[in-house]
Amino acid sequence: MPDVVERQILLPADEYAPATARDLVVQAVISSGQPHLAHETALLTAELVRLSVVQTGSAQRLSVAADEQGVTVTLSDPIRQVEPLEPAEAKRVLALIDGLATAWGTEYSKDGKSFWFRVARGSGELLPPVSLQPEAPHPQWAQRRASSSHQQLARWLTYLPEHVRRQLTTEQTLEELVRRLCEILEAQCAVLWIDEGGESGPLPLASYGLPSGSPPQRLPREAAAGPGPVSSPACVARAVLEEAGARYTVSVTMPVGSPLHGGLDLGFTGLEDLGEEAATLAMLSAERMALIVDADRAREIEVRRRGFLVFLAEASELLANSLDVDLTMMLVAQLCVTRLGQWCAIHVPGPHGRPELAVAVHVDERELPELQAKFAGGPRDPAERRLRQVVQSGSVQTMPDEVAGIAVPLTARRQVVGTMTIGSPRGRQHTAEEIAIAEDLGRRAGLALLNARLYREQAAVAAALQKGLLPASLPSVAGVEFGAEYVPTGDGNQVGGDFYDVIELSGDEWMLAIGDVCGKGPEAASVTGVVRDVIRVLVREGRPLTYVLTVLNATLLEQRSRTGFCTVAAALARRDGRQIRLELVLAGHLLPVIVRADGSSAFTGETGMAVGVFDQIEVTAVEITLDPGDSIVFYTDGVTERRDGQTFFGEQTLLDTLEGHGGLSAPDLASLLQSAAADFGSEPPRDDIAVLVLRNRP
């Protein structure tokens, strides 16, 4: 006797479910060598199925496990909430189960609920044993077909209640319809298949009566037609059906939507009952299955299209956040490899218009050298010629066989800024939908690449202009130290509004200036250039600083824009023995700080009026003396107005930062103040930071 005999079946919610369940249980019990348990088990199973399946209209799975100690029957419902049962009927069935079964119970899980009962060995030994020959199926399908009307048969073959259909997957629904058709036609086995037209061949969707329980993953595309009264194409699954014991095979076309085509192959031991009526029922059932396949395919297409829309939206967001040319091209390649192909190569126009490989990405990094070698053939190489065609035509081109893929133009503002070559997916070519998605991605990537290039060019222009507005280097003089720090805000593509300048007038005399121009960008840069040039020219002519700032004020007022004002701190430094004497003039600028050799610090100077605001300005020159070891620190408001939340860096923090650092060199003192201001807040600075230091080195 076998150790355990197991059977299971999916019971549809119809009037035949109890008989089907009873037959399954009886066969399992007899096969386990315990025929004396069949009466109780069959009775309890039929009553339970009638109560739980038929009355509630819920398709459920019946499992039977018979071992040497008894039989366990489990009825599993994937839906935990069903129609309420008739109280009296439920009470009667539960009382019957409680009286005949050894044990019973109910279990709940995330997959639904299950009701089980067990009839143990010895509980039914007083009852007469059941014959070891299984009873004939009840009711026989041939009798049902003979006694049923055409309308009843059509309904049985094609109709599934809505609550049942919701519980079944597409595969389970097709399996159920194939099973019903085979039982009506008394077919021994069947395979439902579909062919998508690719290289992989027909794909089985459902089967019935096969020894292995399921057909092979793929079927041969060509097969001989089987005899029979049904006009049909070649029986694709003929070998599989013959292996299952079929002597005759018949194929019915499943009328699915283009470009798909499919069929239902049936296997019979005889063809006596397969007449015109049976052929009509088979074709009707195949049409019902085709509707299910088409509906499922439509859902898959919709899900795939929504996925592509999400993919394009995410790609646009990623590309929009990238202003680096190399990073943009790498993002494009990575996006393609994850969704559209096995590899991706980005080419950009090089000298003389030749496409140059910029980025190459492969799902298998070990294949990268081979991929790069495919595009290293030179001007006469077919791959390069095809890329040139993409640039010239601005349209998608199929790559040569040795490359196997498609080349998509990266277009932006009616120009091709590069090409994107995508390798074919594994085992197939790109679909029309994937090519359309690649074209759309090419347009988005082309625009992102062009924007990144424009940003890089703008940043280069800004850097060159900013460099031209600052001194190339600071003077190197024995006994005198100069130090400066400058940190512009923004992403590097704007010219800052702060500036500093140091020029040597003679061996022992220098001019220092620092300022803050209103605004940023080209307009601020033009004002900075005017301010810097006016101060340099007039100071070199020997003009007093008060006169220099008065002329600068008049010059800025002559500009058309009345917003071109600025604050300036200018000083003439002259060595006098061991001391350095400064003439300091402030035009609306912040007071500089004197850091003495002993580490003490204090503000110095007298604030005047900013230049470029009023017709007349008032500024005052102040004399300052730096002894050996003393320093004077100039700065802009980017230091004092640096904030951490609602707290400003402020003047007191400035003094506290410089206090006790009289022994630092001028560059170190400038770096100390700049670092302290930059580290004061967690957010990036909102304004430019400029620091200029002069120190009388001891």
Which pLDDT does position 223 carry in this prediction? 53
| Among the ranges given (137-151, 310-324, 494-508, 561-575), the one the predictor scored with the smallest mean pLDDT | 137-151
Does domain 160-300 sit in CATH 3.40.1390.10?
no
Distance CA 236, CA 474 (A): 87
Tokens 């770096």, residue located: 671
State both tokens at 341: 């192909």
Distance CA 316, CA 441 (A): 8
Distance CA 574, CA 577 (A): 10
Distance CA 581, CA 113 (A): 95
Closest residue by Cα to residue 241 from 272, 217, 208: 208
Which pLDDT does position 634 carry in this prediction? 95
Q: Give the type of residue at 409.
A: P
Mean pLDDT of the chain: 81
Identify the residue with better confidence: 23 or 271. 23
Helix (H, G, I), strand (E, B), or coil: what is residue 581?
strand
β-strand partners of 579: 576
Other CB atoms closer than 10 Å to residue 378's CB: what's the count? 9
Helix (H, G, I), strand (E, B), or coil: what is residue 355?
strand
35 CB-near residues (< 8 Å, 6+ apart): 29, 129, 130, 131, 132
Mean pLDDT of all residues in 605-618: 90
Expressed in angstroms, the distance from the first to the final Cα of the chain is 108
32 CB-near residues (< 8 Å, 6+ apart): 1, 2, 4, 5, 66, 67, 68, 71
| Among the ranges given (14-28, 296-310, 573-587), the one the predictor scored with the smallest mean pLDDT | 296-310
Distance CA 325, CA 342 (A): 23
Q: Which of 77-81, 92-96, 368-372, 542-546 has the highest mean pLDDT?
A: 542-546
pLDDT of residue 226 exceeding 70: no
Residue 357: band (very low, low, confident or very high) from pLDDT cuts 50, 70, 90: confident
Which pLDDT does position 56 carry in this prediction? 74
pTM for the structure as a whole: 0.52
Which pLDDT does position 137 carry in this prediction? 39
Cα atoms in the Cβ-side hemisphere of radius 13 Å centred on 42: 20
pLDDT of residue 665 exceeding 90: yes
Q: Domain 469-696 falls in which CATH fold?
A: Phosphatase 2c; domain 1 (3.60.40)
Helix (H, G, I), strand (E, B), or coil: what is residue 171?
helix
353 CB-near residues (< 8 Å, 6+ apart): 388, 391
Distance CA 397, CA 1 (A): 68
Distance CA 142, CA 425 (A): 50
Helix (H, G, I), strand (E, B), or coil: what is residue 110?
coil
| Among the ranges given (147-151, 327-331, 493-497), the one the predictor scored with the smallest mean pLDDT | 147-151
Which pLDDT does position 128 carry in this prediction? 39
Q: Domain 322-464 falls in which CATH fold?
A: Beta-Lactamase (3.30.450)
Distance CA 187, CA 273 (A): 10
Residue 138: band (very low, low, confident or very high) from pLDDT cuts 50, 70, 90: very low
Which pLDDT does position 361 carry in this prediction? 85
Identify the residue with better confidence: 405 or 671. 671
176 CB-near residues (< 8 Å, 6+ apart): 10, 12, 160, 168
Distance CA 527, CA 532 (A): 9
Residue 95: band (very low, low, confident or very high) from pLDDT cuts 50, 70, 90: confident
Q: Are 239 and 209 in contact (CB under 8 A)?
A: no
Mean pLDDT of all residues in 454-482: 80
Distance CA 669, CA 118 (A): 89
Please list the helix, strand and coil fractions of the chain in percent, rounded to the nearest 5, in that order: 40, 25, 35
Closest residue by Cα to residue 662 from 635, 636, 639, 632: 632
Dihedral sign of CA atoms 149, 150, 156, 162 in order: negative
Distance CA 622, CA 632 (A): 14
Which pLDDT does position 74 carry in this prediction? 92
Residue 151: band (very low, low, confident or very high) from pLDDT cuts 50, 70, 90: low
Enter the CATH code of domain 4-138: 3.30.565.10
Distance CA 100, CA 590 (A): 100
Q: Are 192 and 210 in contact (CB under 8 A)?
A: no
pLDDT of residue 204 exceeding 70: yes
Residue 603: band (very low, low, confident or very high) from pLDDT cuts 50, 70, 90: very high
Q: Are 510 and 502 in contact (CB under 8 A)?
A: yes
Which pLDDT does position 472 carry in this prediction? 79
Domains 4-138 and 469-696 share a fold: no
Give me the helices (H) in 469-560, please.
521-540, 545-558
Distance CA 99, CA 81 (A): 27
Query: What DSSP line would sit under 216-238, residue for residue?
Result: -S---S--PPPPSSS-----TTH
Closest residue by Cα to residue 42 from 164, 144, 127, 156: 127
Helices 325-339 and 432-468: angle between axes, nearest 10 degrees: 170
Max CA-CA distance within the chain? Answer: 132
Domain parsing of the chain, residue ranges: 4-138, 160-300, 322-464, 469-696
Q: Are 185 and 170 in contact (CB under 8 A)?
A: no
Mean pLDDT of all residues in 6-28: 83
Distance CA 314, CA 309 (A): 9
Identify the residue with better confidence: 157 or 247. 247
Distance CA 441, CA 412 (A): 12
DSSP state of 37: G
State both tokens at 221: 């595309």
Which pLDDT does position 493 carry in this prediction? 52
Of the chain, the percentage scoring pLDDT greater than 90 comes to: 19
β-strand partners of 6: 65
Give me the helices (H) in 244-324, please.
276-320
Residue 494: band (very low, low, confident or very high) from pLDDT cuts 50, 70, 90: low
Which pLDDT does position 257 carry in this prediction? 81
Residue 379: band (very low, low, confident or very high) from pLDDT cuts 50, 70, 90: low
Of the chain, the percentage scoring pLDDT greater than 70 comes to: 87
682 CB-near residues (< 8 Å, 6+ apart): 644
For 343, the enclosing helix (H) or strand (E) is strand 343-349
Which pLDDT does position 136 carry in this prediction? 37
Distance CA 275, CA 259 (A): 31
450-478 burial code (b ≥16 CB/10 A, e <16)? bbbbebbeebeebeebbeebbeeebeeee
pLDDT of residue 582 exceeding 70: yes
Q: Are 585 and 573 in contact (CB under 8 A)?
A: no
pLDDT tens-place string over residues 622-653: 999 999 999 999 999 889 888 888 888 989 99
